[in-house]
Structure 1
Amino acid sequence: MGKIAFVFPGQGSQTVGMGKQLAEQYPEVMAYFNKADETLSSDLSRLIFEGPQEELTKTVNTQPALLTTSLAILERFRKSVIKPDFVAGHSLGEYTALVAAGALTFEDGVFAVRKRGEFMEGAVPNGEGSMAAILGFDRDSLFKVTAEVSESGFPVSLANLNCPGQIVISGSRKGVELAGEKAKEAGAKRAIPLEVSGPFHSSLMKPAAGQLREVLDELDMKDALIPVIANVSAKPMTTADEIKENLLEQLYSPVLWEDSIVKMIDLGVDTFIEIGPGKVLSGLIKKINRSVKTFSISDEESCQSVIDALKEGNL
């Protein structure tokens, strides 16, 4: 039997009502939402369950909301007794993975991502940065395009290497616009502007990394009990010092998601279980390697179907 990896989603997967069904059914699931409210001294759970969507989509709310919901769903899934060999998360999801791996407590994790969201929103004045998804173009060619545009005085860089033919760029508004145009001229199929509040995973986030260091220095970071595949290197990390440095670098470096999945497959993983709202990561994984098995868990029905697959030996 091959190895199993749990993967956790990042920003973009949030939706009003996520986790509500499980929270109403299982007190241990609801406990996560209550704990988040208490830790942040806020009504985060009501925002998650009732909205409005515009408020939930603000980075400062989305990050703790997704981490809380994904870990609450994981709490329900723990009853299956399935243990992962590796964990990973996309951008914000890396913090969820670290809590799941025992490197951070839930309270420290939800506090850290609330502060991370604040710092990211404040790093660049509103409207000066942006992001865009470039479709149908290879990473080496896109890297040359972004380097050329950056040299002309408009910083832009690769931000999320999601899967073959889907790469997100990030940086100054003008830089992203110019890089998108040049990429299309060079053969890219499309350049799609993203609805985001800042140029995440670009050099413009370095001021936020300095602020985040102060927060992480105050947390009781521990060695991970399960190897966590780092966004910045696509390699397993376990030591507390390594984890902290990677989290800081992650703010202004590209998320190597495609490389991370390939690395886990090389390490023997043939089953990926996405835990949290949506199926974004499962879709990306299938585009990276169609031979692996993917499952998504977001509610009671999907959770039970994975548990049933385990019982039937299909996992």
Structure 2
Amino acid sequence: MLRHVEWRDDSVLVASENNPPVRSLDDRTDVCQEPNPKLCVAFVGMGSQHPTMGRQLAEQYPLFLASIKENDRILMDVYGQPSLLDRTRLFIPGAECSLNPNGVWPLQDVILSFTYLQISLWDLIRSLGFRADFVLGTSVGEIAMGYASGHYDRTTAIGIATAFATTMSEVEGNGATIFVAVNACRARLVIDEVLLQAGMTSGLWISSFHSPHAVAIAGTRTLINAMSDFLSTSKAFSGVFSMVLPQLGCAFHTPLMEPIEKPFKAALEKIILDHKLDARSLEARVMSTVDGYWLNRPLDSDYFWDNVLRPTKFGEIVQNLAHEEGENIVLLEIAAHPAMKTCVEQCGVRYVGLIRRPAPDASVDVSNECLQVREAVHHLCNAGFRRELGVLE
């Protein structure tokens, strides 16, 4: 039984004609290919949110829906906030979500919904018999990371998400983010050129080092738009893929977040953080995308403020894992969509995604989150992971 879950629901999967038992995908004895694989679970930050995320899982898997509802109960009963489910209709089987279909939502709803989704996806994966050897998170994904690693419980995780959500609204719209498929050195050249053309000395920063060949750059909206225009017309950067990310409502991981330091830390200091400082009591080792190496400090208000202010080092962390673990490492991304697949593979690590959002240009929604989860289970088993039997049977 899950050690993290504070209630019990053994009916994790309901088999039917359309949803056969997960064990049907990996009941062969010769499925494992690697002798000692290591599982790294990555809780990637917001940006891939969409109105139907988790809906099919909530319809079919009672444990997933119960986890979502428990998150919402804690939000209301412990932290005095209005129900996310009632306000937005997210996750509720048969309900129509009230949020924008394009995923451009108020930051409060993005942060809370992403935390709900990642916690409940981990509860589901954990109940299927998989254990993480390592965990990491990027941006607000580090909230669920601390839950999955065993640093704190569900109630604390929802409290941290509440602190993020209530204070981030104060800087909503302070900037924008653009993804650029270049290395960090070339990204700095682009930043310098755009600032020079704008007659400014600051206002753009690398906010995330995704991989050796990709970064995210955040800054004021005017400068991000100028960068997008520059990249689309510059001969020196002809053919470089770039995309402004409208789903990110502020300039995370830049100095533009500094005005909320005091209220953010004050909100977090009301919560008991980092319950388990004894490494022997933790579920999995943590790689910090804030510090760029193994976590060796408390997940306290100072740590999470660094999470808000400093760039994430996702690519560096994944490369370090590849160097230390070699071909035995497999990364499972926990998010609403496999946003980091290419970046992970560029770092030399095998990748498994979980659920995917519907194709925006599809006339008919043929996505099936339940099949996608079973597909992920199949890939993990083929990589050499054996589920703990008896969890489902």
TM-score bracket, shorter-length normalisation: 0.7 to 0.9
Q: Provide the secondary structure at the position in 1 that maps to 2:337.
A: coil
Task: State how 1:61-140 maps to structure 2 within 5 Å.
Answer: 61-123=109-171, 126=173, 128-135=174-181, 137-140=182-185
Q: Provide the secondary structure at the position in 1 that maps to 2:251.
A: coil
Q: 1:44 aligns with which of 84, 98, 105?
A: 84
Unaligned runs of 5+ in 1: none
CA contact 1:154–1:175 (8 Å) conserved in 2: no
Q: Provide the secondary structure at the position in 2 that maps to 1:53.
A: coil
Amino acid at match of 1:110: I
CA contact 2:352–2:379 (8 Å) conserved in 1: no
1:125-182 per-position Cα deviation (integer Å, ceiling 9, x unaligned): x4x52222223x3212322553673993442110122123322111223333455566
Q: 2:332 aligns with which of 269, 273, 280?
A: 273
Is 1:232 aligned to residue 290 of structure 2? Answer: yes
Give, in whole Å, the separation in 2 of the partners of 1:73 and 1:52: 22
- The two structures have a TM-score, normalised by structure 1, of 0.86
Paired positions, count: 309
1:65 Cα deviation from its structure 2 partner: 0.6
User: Is 57-66 or 106-115 further displaced after alignment?
Assistant: 106-115
Cα 1:142/1:282, change in 2 over 3 Å: closer
1:296 counterpart residue number: 353
1:192 Cα deviation from its structure 2 partner: 3.0
Q: Provide the secondary structure at the position in 2 that maps to 1:23.
A: helix
Amino acid at match of 1:117: A
1:312 Cα deviation from its structure 2 partner: 5.4
Give, in whole Å, the separation in 2 of the partners of 1:302 and 1:87: 21
Cα 1:313/1:274, change in 2 over 3 Å: closer
1:185 Cα deviation from its structure 2 partner: 4.1
1:159 counterpart residue number: 207
1:245 counterpart residue number: 302
Amino acid at match of 1:115: A
Cα 1:122/1:228, change in 2 over 3 Å: same
Give, in whole Å, the separation in 2 of the partners of 1:297 and 1:129: 30
Give, in whole Å, the separation in 2 of the partners of 1:2 and 1:169: 34
1:193 counterpart residue number: 244
Give, in whole Å, the separation in 1 of the partners of 2:235 and 2:291: 28
2:360 counterpart residue number: none
Unaligned runs of 5+ in 2: 1-35, 77-81, 356-368, 386-393
Give, in whole Å, the separation in 1 of the partners of 2:72 and 2:200: 46
Task: State how 1:278-289 maps to structure 2 within 5 Å.
Answer: 278-289=337-348
Runs ≥4 in structure 1, deviation > 6 angstroms? none
CA contact 1:35–1:107 (8 Å) conserved in 2: no
Q: Provide the secondary structure at the position in 2 that maps to 1:176.
A: helix
1:282 Cα deviation from its structure 2 partner: 2.7
- The two structures have a TM-score, normalised by structure 2, of 0.70
Greater fraction helix: 1
1:211 Cα deviation from its structure 2 partner: 2.0
Q: 2:69 aligns with which of 34, 40, 48?
A: 34
Identity of aligned residues (%): 18
Q: Provide the secondary structure at the position in 2 that maps to 1:143.
A: helix
1:4 counterpart residue number: 39
CA contact 1:216–1:244 (8 Å) conserved in 2: yes
Greater fraction strand: 1
1:251-283 per-position Cα deviation (integer Å, ceiling 9, x unaligned): 121111111211222231521112232111233
User: Is 41-50 or 11-20 further displaced after alignment?
Assistant: 41-50
Amino acid at match of 2:243: I
1:54 Cα deviation from its structure 2 partner: 1.8
Is 1:211 aligned to residue 270 of structure 2? Answer: no
CA contact 2:191–2:204 (8 Å) conserved in 1: yes
Give, in whole Å, the separation in 1 of the partners of 2:374 and 2:296: 31
Cα 1:273/1:37, change in 2 over 3 Å: same
Cα 1:311/1:249, change in 2 over 3 Å: closer
Amino acid at match of 1:140: C
1:6 Cα deviation from its structure 2 partner: 0.6
Cα 1:239/1:304, change in 2 over 3 Å: same
Give, in whole Å, the separation in 2 of the partners of 1:254 and 1:187: 26
Q: Provide the secondary structure at the position in 1 that maps to 2:69.
A: helix
Cα 1:307/1:233, change in 2 over 3 Å: same
2:314 counterpart residue number: 257
Q: Which has the larger radius of gyration?
A: 2
Cα 1:313/1:186, change in 2 over 3 Å: closer
1:301 Cα deviation from its structure 2 partner: 2.4
